[in-house]
């Protein structure tokens, strides 16, 4: 019962939570109403850094969401040049994370990490299309067992000022495994192999480590891009 109610906190969050708590204690000494405001902010900080367990589908060929958030756009786009994956457009799924979403990022597939590339940049609103090119980002090039490649790109946003990545080139990752996080509010782009069938629609909420974004296998071939509506 306790595990079902209490969500673990990511290790990245504890220093921030401690700072917020210390600030709250100091605010209580100055003025009690300000102290209660500090308590609220401390609780929000703990909420932001939550790291819940997820149940990841394990069928080969599935591409799992690397981030919690709204599917913002599904468009053809060239992958980041620093990954050396060519200039041709690939299907790109963009997931926008607001400050209330879980910000732990998870690997979308079982794969080998071919390259990890950090690119400095601006801190524009991550919901803008040009954020993929202009904003600070960290990109992973992944190769699955059959040789096809994907890219996952962590993009800093208007509030985000820190991208964390815990994997390096030549490592193996498993679908659903934690590989990084972004603080505070941001976006993650997934570039799929050409011809992959996307299985989500714009506006849909994605859950990191659980929502199936696409199917690389033959069972997904031929399905048109999905559309959705609010009901």
Q: Which residue has the higher pLDDT, 13 or 148?
A: 148
Active site residues per annotation: 186
Distance CA 114, CA 120 (A): 20
Mark whether 140 and 216 lie in a shared domain: yes
Mark whether 29 and 69 lie in a shared domain: no
Q: Is residue 96 part of a domain?
A: yes
CB 89 within 8 Å of CB 195: no
- DSSP code per residue over 42-91: HHHHHHHTB---------TTEEE-SS-EEEEEEEEEPPPGGG---SS-EE
Q: How many domains does the chain have?
A: 2
CB 67 within 8 Å of CB 95: yes
CB 202 within 8 Å of CB 71: yes
Distance CA 104, CA 219 (A): 30
In the structure encoding, which two tokens stand for residue 167, read together?
């994997």
Q: What is the CATH number of the domain that holds 212?
A: 2.70.70
Mark whether 159 and 100 lie in a shared domain: yes
Mark whether 171 and 94 lie in a shared domain: yes
| Model pLDDT, residue 195 | 84
| Model pLDDT, residue 5 | 57
| Model pLDDT, residue 160 | 58
Residues in the chain: 231
Beta strands 137-143; 62-64: pairing state: unpaired
Mark whether 91 and 153 lie in a shared domain: yes
Mark whether 31 and 108 lie in a shared domain: no
% of the chain residues with pLDDT over 90: 55
In the structure encoding, which two tokens stand for residue 117, read together?
């590339």
Q: Is residue 158 part of a domain?
A: yes
CB 51 within 8 Å of CB 80: no
Mark whether 74 and 118 lie in a shared domain: yes
DSSP, collapsed to helix, strand or coil, labels residue 143 as: strand
Q: Is residue 118 part of a domain?
A: yes
Q: Is residue 122 part of a domain?
A: yes
Give the confidence band of 226 by pLDDT, cuts at 50, 70, 90: low
pLDDT single digits (tens) 14-42: 888 899 899 999 988 888 888 899 899 89
CB 169 within 8 Å of CB 195: no
Identify the CA nearest to 76 among candidates 197, 191, 155. Answer: 191
Can you name the residues that pair with 187 across neighbouring β-strands? 96, 155
Q: Is residue 55 part of a domain?
A: no
Mark whether 122 and 10 lie in a shared domain: no
Mark whether 30 and 67 lie in a shared domain: no
Give the confidence band of 8 by pLDDT, cuts at 50, 70, 90: confident
Q: Is residue 216 part of a domain?
A: yes
In the structure encoding, which two tokens stand for residue 66, read together?
């690397």
pLDDT single digits (tens) 143-200: 999 999 999 999 987 765 688 899 999 999 999 999 998 877 689 999 999 989 899 9
Q: Is residue 21 part of a domain?
A: yes
Domain housing 42: 2-48
Mark whether 169 and 80 lie in a shared domain: yes
Mean pLDDT computed over every residue of the chain: 87
Please check the confidence at residue 224 and state whether its pLDDT lies above 70. no
Mark whether 30 and 137 lie in a shared domain: no
Mark whether 108 and 199 lie in a shared domain: yes
Q: Is residue 144 part of a domain?
A: yes
pLDDT single digits (tens) 78-128: 999 999 999 999 999 999 998 889 889 999 999 999 999 999 888 776 677
CB 46 within 8 Å of CB 85: no
């Amino acid at each position: 019962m306790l595990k079902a109610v209490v969500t673990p906190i990511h290790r990245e969050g504890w220093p921030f939570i401690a700072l917020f708590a210390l600030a709250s204690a100091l605010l209580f000494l100055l003025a009690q109403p300000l102290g209660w405001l500090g308590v609220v902010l401390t609780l929000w900080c703990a909420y932001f850094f939550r790291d819940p367990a997820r149940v990841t589908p394990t069928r080969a060929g599935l591409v799992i969401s690397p981030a919690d958030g709204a599917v913002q756009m599904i468009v053809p786009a060239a992958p980041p040049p620093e990954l050396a994956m060519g200039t041709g457009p690939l299907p790109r799924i963009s997931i926008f994370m607001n400050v209330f979403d879980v910000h732990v990022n998870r690997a979308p597939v079982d794969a080998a990490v071919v390259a990890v590339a950090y690119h400095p940049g601006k801190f524009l609103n991550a919901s803008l299309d040009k954020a993929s090119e202009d904003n600070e980002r960290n990109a992973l090039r992944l190769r699955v067992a059959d040789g096809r490649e994907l890219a996952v790109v962590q993009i800093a946003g208007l509030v985000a000022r820190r991208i964390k990545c815990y994997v390096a080139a030549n490592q193996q990752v498993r679908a659903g495994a934690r590989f990084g996080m972004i603080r505070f509010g941001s976006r993650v782009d997934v570039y799929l192999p050409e011809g992959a069938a996307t299985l989500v629609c714009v506006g849909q909420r994605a859950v990191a480590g659980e929502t199936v974004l696409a199917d690389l296998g033959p069972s997904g071939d031929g399905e048109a891009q999905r559309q959705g509506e609010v009901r």
